[in-house]
A and B are shown apart, each in its own frame.
Chain A
């Protein structure tokens, strides 16, 4: 009905749940297009309790997906937030009903540019409407309606996931009891946009991109997408982390080769990051999702005053940032905290000392887990959730 699935997408869809939404009434996107029907792929862990009070929505960042825990059906690797979610961990499926939704426009089963346009039966490709963070959240809310889940005990996410958390709290305050935006910002900065633009230009400069119609030509703009990933990957790491991991170490050689092979380990590492990314990510999706992040400006959507986005918010917030994150630096989180204070919202904020850069939120950061666990327990007490283990 929707698309000619790639192998990756077929495997993903076979291993998760999905829902077709917007059939009766299409969803109006920020760009004005009415989208429907569309498919949303999602994964769940644990059981919804009788009072429907224990639902936790995990929002994934740009290059992750709904397989937040457990083995990934495409890569075979463990879930991207395995450190946080699982038996005995902070988000224990024995206690919470955990939902992670592949965002609209992505490429792990949810409708995106690779899908067929219902009206024509042709692949959307670049004619797919540009979606926003608010559209992604709108689609998630539509999924919750479909599942009969009135509200969320907690919404948590890092990076682009954190943007979704902020959008959730702003758009659906009564449906969010607790919100945990990590390593994110209320808007994309000029530098953020600039890096994304480099990635997009790399994709579009690849002759195999074919104006976005590469699938019809049975090619993939692999080189362009790999370069986009390599650029982005640098922004996820701190200088210290790169230096510690690689320094000027050479790759499988004793001296530089006086050529342009991957002499240095850091080059080899980035090339590997780029080439494996191509196997699991769609180039057009990369254009769309990075665009959604660029367009995100929560203050702009509320008359230029960020506090207006959170006026009268009943939600309990816990923000976290990392000292060495230069992609979404602490001052961005602090701006959100100030706005939440100005709105008299209930907010906690913790800056975590880490030299691992933006990626720290995906790594083993005990301070982050401790903070989240404490916050979650406080919220659970306030909500009257039964005690887990």
Chain B
């Protein structure tokens, strides 16, 4: 699969965190754009797992190594430390048991890279406080009754979970609503960040 087109900014951030030549598993790899980037530009031995059969078929037809699978149930099959990186982009909030998924990611991989939308972004807060309705924003476009996002969290919530789990945050990148990187103290980052990318490691 030739992939010269630029990839989504959060995927690019993830790709930048991956050292060339390693092994990576992308959970919820969608159409495989991150996988293809990692394979073609970072010489990574990259594998994918995707829930939608259409996504899987498209990836495999594109020459990528992808299986149909579910983050909640199918990580158990992999041996410990099978990958250098296990990646979960914009999917954590849609899992049934986010903490268990993170545990599995850090069992299967030496490092975990996770990106998610920040539910404490000022835009979300305003919608809820002044609109009185469940927030709908560009990064959270679904109605409350048909959203796949069943475990939304804020950046601070995620940091707290990492502390509880005894997981080291090696890197944290926060993006504002224009997908620009912001450098702010945690309290402000949790207000102005629309999404975040974390690289984690077991202590």
List residues of chain A with CB under 8 Å of any chain B CB. 316, 318, 337-338, 341-344, 346-353, 367, 370-371, 373-375, 377-379, 381
Given A374-B63, A377-B63, A351:B77 Cβ within 8 A: no
Given A350-B56, A350-B57, A351-B53, A344:B63 Cβ within 8 A: no
- Residues 49-79 of chain B: 1 if any A CB is under 8 Å from the residue's CB, otherwise 0? 0000100110111111111100000100111
Given A338-B77, A342-B79, A348:B62 Cβ within 8 A: no
Contact residues of B: prevailing secondary structure: mixed
CB-defined contacts of A350 to chain B, threshold 8 Å: 53, 56-57, 60, 68
How many A-B residue pairs have C-beta atoms within 8 angstroms? Tell me: 65
Determine whether the beta carbon of A349 is less than 8 Å from that of B68.
Answer: yes
User: Does B9 interact with chain A (Cβ within 8 Å)?
Assistant: no
CB distance from B86 to the nearest CB of A (A): 13
User: Does B45 interact with chain A (Cβ within 8 Å)?
Assistant: yes
CB-defined contacts of A375 to chain B, threshold 8 Å: 60-61, 63
Determine whether the beta carbon of A373 is less than 8 Å from that of B61.
Answer: yes
Interface residues of B in 58-115 (CB under 8 A from A): 59-68, 74, 77-79, 82
Determine whether the beta carbon of B77 is less than 8 Å from that of A374.
Answer: no
Interface residue tally for chain B (C-beta within 8 Å): 21
Given the complex of chains A and B, what is the CA–CA distance between A337 and B67 in angstroms? 8
Determine whether the beta carbon of B63 is less than 8 Å from that of A346.
Answer: no
User: Does B47 interact with chain A (Cβ within 8 Å)?
Assistant: yes
Other A-B pairs beyond A346-B45, A349-B67, 15, CB < 8 Å: A318-B60, A341-B67, A341-B77, A342-B78, A347-B65, A348-B56, A348-B64, A348-B65, A349-B60, A351-B53, A370-B57, A371-B61, A374-B61, A378-B1, A378-B65
7 A-B contacts, Cβ less than 8 Å apart? A338-B77, A350-B53, A350-B60, A350-B68, A374-B61, A375-B60, A375-B63
Given the complex of chains A and B, what is the CA–CA distance between A374 and B53 in angstroms? 16
Determine whether the beta carbon of B47 is less than 8 Å from that of A346.
Answer: yes
Q: Which 5 interchain pairs have the tightest Cβ spacing? A: A378-B63, A374-B61, A341-B77, A349-B67, A344-B82
CB-defined contacts of B68 to chain A, threshold 8 Å: 349-351
Determine whether the beta carbon of A367 is less than 8 Å from that of B65.
Answer: no
CB-defined contacts of A373 to chain B, threshold 8 Å: 61
CB-defined contacts of B64 to chain A, threshold 8 Å: 348, 378
Given the complex of chains A and B, what is the CA–CA distance between A374 and B58 in angstroms? 9
CB-defined contacts of B60 to chain A, threshold 8 Å: 318, 348-350, 371, 374-375
